[in-house]
Copies of this chain bind each other. A is one copy, B any other.
Amino acid sequence: MTKLTLHQTTRSGNCYKIPLTAALVGTKIDKVINYNTLKGETRTEHYLSNINSNGKVPVLQISSDTFMPESNAAMYYIADKSPLIPTDRLLHAQMLQWMFFEQYSHEPAIAVLRFWVAIKGLENCTEDDKNSIPAKRKAGEAALDVMEKHLSAEGGRKWFVGDGVTLADVALFAYTHVAHESMYFDLMDWPNVRDWCERVKGLDGFVSML
């Protein structure tokens, strides 16, 4: 068995995807190394040279010299050949579709606002950051609208892709279920999304963020 080490920061939804996926498929993360990103610990010369030249967490370390950044790729590696990844060509591509949606249209709005408000503190943000809050709120609402519409289509869907839970659900759940921590989003406004979050929480093997 490969020994897996997770380089991460606490309270990050992107990092949380890794232990949640591992728990759902019954894989063990052997070691967790925490970094304080607010103190620049993922921007040191050592980190950039050895762990991830892009200076981000999470990174899934698969061997002494194999490091995998990008949360959604690391999830895929862990869940390979598990029921979380459909084998049907269309369903598989639709799963990736929602994972790319998550990284492009969802995370940069919902996760970033939560980071600024609930973790970094608005008082520590730049003026440019603060000026971008209205646009990020709008983008986050739009992302939740897209999710709500999808879940309510065709008489109601339980999961984002096909008939069962996939990595699309896990990826989207990570920051959706804590979206309210920015104070800008209340899932009461997106009832199908809220119900879907509860379904994810009820999955066998589910582990919470903290």
Contacts and interface: CB of A to CB of B under 8 A. Distances in A.
A interface: dominant SS: helix
Contact of A97 (B68, B94, B99): B68
A203 interface: no
* Range of interface residues on A (Cβ < 8 Å): 35 or more
Contacts of A93: 68, 73-74, 76-77, 80
Interface string A31-47: 00000000000000000
Q: State the copy count for this chain.
A: 2
A145 B100 CA distance: 23
B53 A150 contact: yes
Interface in A88-122: 89-90, 92-94, 96-97, 99-101, 103-105, 107-108
Contacts of A73: 93-94, 96-97, 99-100
Interface stretch (A127-135, A175-183, A190-198): A127-135
B90 A146 contact: no
A149 interface: yes
A150 B53 CA distance: 9
Contacts of A62: 90
Interface of A: 53-54, 62, 66, 68-74, 76-77, 80, 89-90, 92-94, 96-97, 99-101, 103-105, 107-108, 128, 131-132, 135, 142, 145-146, 149-150
11 contacts: A53-B145, A54-B142, A69-B97, A70-B101, A73-B97, A73-B99, A73-B100, A76-B93, A77-B89, A104-B108, A108-B108
